[in-house]
Copies of this chain bind each other. A is one copy, B any other.
């Protein structure tokens, strides 16, 4: 059906290798021959069969990206950035969704479907530190996120603790003292929730503000609705606070909505800070002050690191930990200076 090197070669009256040479711009070809071959290529509309090329070369020109779910804006924006970076590097991206399910993540790691790619950028959510040795795989792998540390693969992630600490310090500096948390995970030490909560506590400790369990809202999945539900629970149990730190933007936006429904003004009564700097955070009402954790850099770095490992799989070198810079993005939901100082509840 589709034209092959053989067809072109026959039409041009040369060997298939000569056609191959023309395509790869091998220098020693007579102009006349080259012209004839090019003519034949055009005539047949020949395009190389990448599958055959892959088999021959051992490279596919594709990488895989595994994320929990594209429906989560954070991962959609991550995927967009990865695909863009990959395009610049000349490779395409195969996207898998794991649903954040540990079993599916483990299955994916040893799935032969990956044989169609040269390497994997993997953002686990269900796996944990105990699964660290499952990251020992026979292909180039770059791990994202904060579920697993000190693994055998390169790891690109953000400064969760420092960034969360900075966000909390920002709220403290603006005069808030009772900062509620939305999205904590019970007993978690690593993982986004655990690390960000640690940064929060560090900031409180440093400022001499007591940590108060009663204003810590727990929820497992970071879906939109959970931020709302979590905030509703806090309000229902009569928690008192003058600020909210949503452990990601989605949670913060859901929580902010419930706050407003309940008659509280943001930021006058309650300041709200998120984490991720989603596109959407700039367009909520009020717009959301948040932490830009350096996602764009993470995507670029993940791709370039993976491409390095692919280019040179043997010159392994020890696994690297690469950390993005973060910054606080100041918007309306939490101005740096407290606009309308309400009565601050003290303990």
Q: Find the B residue at minimum CB distance from A49.
A: B115
What is the bound-complex CA distance between A269 and B51, given in angstroms?
60
Within the oligomer, what is the number of copies of this chain? 2
A13 contacts B by Cβ under 8 Å: no
For chain A, which range describes its interface: under 10, 10 to 19, 20 to 34, or 35 or more residues? 35 or more
Q: A110, A256, A284: which has the most chain B beta carbons within 10 Å?
A: A284
User: Could you tell me if A280 and B279 are in contact, using CB atoms closer than 8 angstroms?
Assistant: no
Top 5 closest pairs, chain A to chain B, by CB? A76-B76, A70-B80, A47-B112, A50-B115, A71-B80
A73-85: contact bitstring with B at CB < 8 Å (1 yes, 0 no)?
A: 1001101100110
User: Could you tell me if A283 and B224 are in contact, using CB atoms closer than 8 angstroms?
Assistant: yes
User: Could you tell me if A48 and B115 are in contact, using CB atoms closer than 8 angstroms?
Assistant: yes
**Contacts A79-B70, A95-B93, A279-B71 given: A113-B50 contact, CB under 8 Å?**
yes
Instruction: Give the dominant DSSP class at A's interface.
Output: helix
- Given A70-B79, A70-B83, A73-B76, 11 more A-B residue pairs with CB atoms under 8 Å apart are A47-B115, A50-B112, A50-B115, A51-B115, A61-B116, A71-B77, A73-B73, A92-B116, A224-B282, A224-B283, A280-B280
A87-101: contact bitstring with B at CB < 8 Å (1 yes, 0 no)?
A: 100001111110000
Of A52-60, A126-134, A169-177, A187-195, the one touching chain B: A52-60
What is the bound-complex CA distance between A52 and B116, given in angstroms?
10
User: Could you tell me if B92 and A92 are in contact, using CB atoms closer than 8 angstroms?
Assistant: no
User: Could you tell me if B94 and A62 are in contact, using CB atoms closer than 8 angstroms?
Assistant: yes
What is the bound-complex CA distance between A110 and B2, given in angstroms?
13
A260 contacts B by Cβ under 8 Å: yes
A251-294: contact bitstring with B at CB < 8 Å (1 yes, 0 no)?
A: 00110110011000000000000000001101111000000000
User: Could you tell me if A116 and B285 are in contact, using CB atoms closer than 8 angstroms?
Assistant: no
A46 nearest CB across to chain B (Å): 10
What is the bound-complex CA distance between A341 and B177, given in angstroms?
43
A138 contacts B by Cβ under 8 Å: yes
Partner of A94, one of B84, B94, B280: B94
What is the bound-complex CA distance between A48 and B55, given in angstroms?
12
Partner of A69, one of B80, B110, B256: B80
A15 contacts B by Cβ under 8 Å: no
What is the bound-complex CA distance between A97 and B79, given in angstroms?
10
Chain B contacts for A254, CB-based, 8 A: 283
Chain B contacts for A112, CB-based, 8 A: 47-48, 50
What is the bound-complex CA distance between A228 and B280, given in angstroms?
13
A1 contacts B by Cβ under 8 Å: yes
A227 nearest CB across to chain B (Å): 8
Q: Find the B residue at minimum CB distance from A45.
A: B138
Q: Find the B residue at minimum CB distance from A138.
A: B2
Interface residues of A in 229-263 (CB under 8 A from B): 253-254, 256-257, 260-261
A225 contacts B by Cβ under 8 Å: yes
Partner of A97, one of B47, B80, B94: B80
What is the bound-complex CA distance between A84 and B95, given in angstroms?
11
Chain B contacts for A76, CB-based, 8 A: 70-71, 73, 76, 79-80
User: Could you tell me if A261 and B279 are in contact, using CB atoms closer than 8 angstroms?
Assistant: no
**Contacts A1-B138, A97-B80, A97-B84 given: A116-B283 contact, CB under 8 Å?**
no
